[in-house]
Structure 1
Amino acid sequence: MRHYRVLAFLAVFLLAFQYLGTAQQLGSSFTNPLLDNGPDPWVTRHNGYYYYMNTMGNRLVIRKTKVLSQVSAASATTVWTPPATGPNSGGIWAPELHFQRGKWYLYYTAADAQKFNDDTRGVFVLENSAADPTTGQWIDRGKINTRYPGLDGSVFEDRGQLYFLYSAYVGPQSVLCIAPMQNPWTLLADKEVVIATPTYTWEKGGGRQILEGPEFLRGKKGQVFIVYSASACWDDNYSLGMLTASGQSDLLQASSWTKSSEPVFCKSVANSVYGPGHNSFTTSPNGRQDWIVYHAKDAPTGKCEQRSLRMQPFSWNPDGTPRFGAPVSTKTVLSWPVGQ
């Protein structure tokens, strides 16, 4: 009798092992989209966790997860809601979470709900000293002192200097500006510089001339790249352009930046992906694989709606420039980030 019990136990154990192995195999891949609604996505990796945000319109929400491809299952924590009135009371867009100099800083676009237009729109910042940004107290550091009204603020550090990027409203168009920062919420405003304006046809879609969503990316050979979104968000040809500066150049000189003549990431009719853009960058848990996180649409709707969250790995060219390829189909099975 004991012999049969042992055999039965072994049989159950083997079946369980096979089941777990199959489950792990199935669970090690994913398809896009990760969220059906995910406009203006932002991801940062810190202390073994991914922190994800996107435009919610009326609040700031952080999702925390160790498995970025399963961000939809992560709990969502509302960390801030706007006041009823005032300069940051409406249009809460494009949040970015950055860990700078031992604290968390959350940059977001907002406008005056009672005077809702481009003239009242700007970038605001919150500060949190907690180790985990989904906890602790957020302190309002106010509006960034940019020269122009604008949106889509981002920060990066290069050679010990903190820089601020944003999309500024200048005349009938949106341009890209950079300025050095005195601290994470104050610019050295007298040194703010316009580094790019819309010049190509693909930057003027949807009846607007728009460069927005600028994001920093370090090249494999020391270059500094600014990857930005071009054209209006409702345009189905919304795409990513790129500025390049050498690693030793003066980033506050417009002449230091060279613009790519063609989009570096654009729609794929073959893959049924339209309007890919407003991206962020992150790495796999082991830091060895690079990923682009972005929003896109499944159909050419001509609307700034139904922008779902997507991600895919990218590689590098021999000259140290990024090779993003084409946005993949929602039917394409992707492996989890390496080390996840």
Structure 2
Amino acid sequence: MSMVQVGVIGASGYVGSELIGILMKHEGVDISGISSENNQGAAFSTLYPSFKGQYDAQFESNQEVISKSDVVFICLPHGKSENMVKQCIDEGKKVIDAGADFRLNDLKVYEDWYETAISYPELHGQAVYGLPEMNKEAISQTSLVANPGCYPTSILLGLYPAVSEQLINTDRLIIDAKSGVTGAGKSLSAVTHFANKNEAFKAYKAGTHRHTPEIEEKLGQMGADNVKVSFVPHLLPVNRGILSTIYADLKSGSDSEHIHNLYKKWYANDPFVTVLDYGTLPDISHVTHSNQCHIGLTVDERTQRLIIVSVIDNMQKGAAGQAVQNMNIMMGFNETEGLAMVAPSF
């Protein structure tokens, strides 16, 4: 079998660089080209010196990358991907978009929350939401995958079994989530400056974060009725990782043993989701630098509330790792190819 030619547009950012590290280990692909708007002609290893002697390819133009690739990863901010995706699809390429442009089915909601106009509404109808544990069959048959947001990945995986089996009320879900600073991207800001972030911890965009409509829409597709989410993200003084704590009111008749057994059975065949023993809560450090999601469950018997704690590495399962997982499914590779890594807990 010939090697699949894979290109990365926007390879100079955190997600793009993470992709390069994964793809270098993938036995079924060659990296055909990389692009960067501000670094064309420079070597990748000048931006990321740890790659020196391992991957020294130069950044090319977007068109050069597209023309040489069978699969294109697009790692651009929202509003920047749509035209690029259109070009790739028109040229018969498969695309995984790591940005937000194709995640929402309701285009009006996207335009309102992201303050960005849609140019090719018909193109959005071709996109499949790339949460493999939810949409594996559809991912295997599409040419365009919308890679999920990092927060929604941890939250949706945490809620999927309970929502689909109608175990909880979804009209007042409370989600308290924390992310490492790489989730803010590579661009410098006062908020992520070391002197401001070190030894600090704060909430931000309470009730207004752009991942809110993505969470609500996908929960609806999982079977939830009348979804209302209070979502409050926080910025942790760590490089990577997301921990989402989810509070959901149980419907009558649901007990802790039944819920835990349901979760274990639900994810039994998903290689990147691990449901911990009942009452054991996960730690970000146990999934760092891996594509794993760890889920812990406990029931507050006094309030009859299910408490779900879900952790991922925002750069792996929350971005680049999940993008490669989607590519593996699209191209018929083993789902775990290039991703079989267990993180040390130190």
Between structures 1 and 2, the one with greater strand share: 1
Q: Same fold (TM over 0.5)?
A: no
Instruction: Specify which structure has the bigger relative contact order, considering alpha-carbon pairs within 8 angstroms and separated by 6 or more residues.
Output: 2
* TM-score of the superposed pair, with normalisation by structure 1: 0.31
* TM-score of the superposed pair, with normalisation by structure 2: 0.31
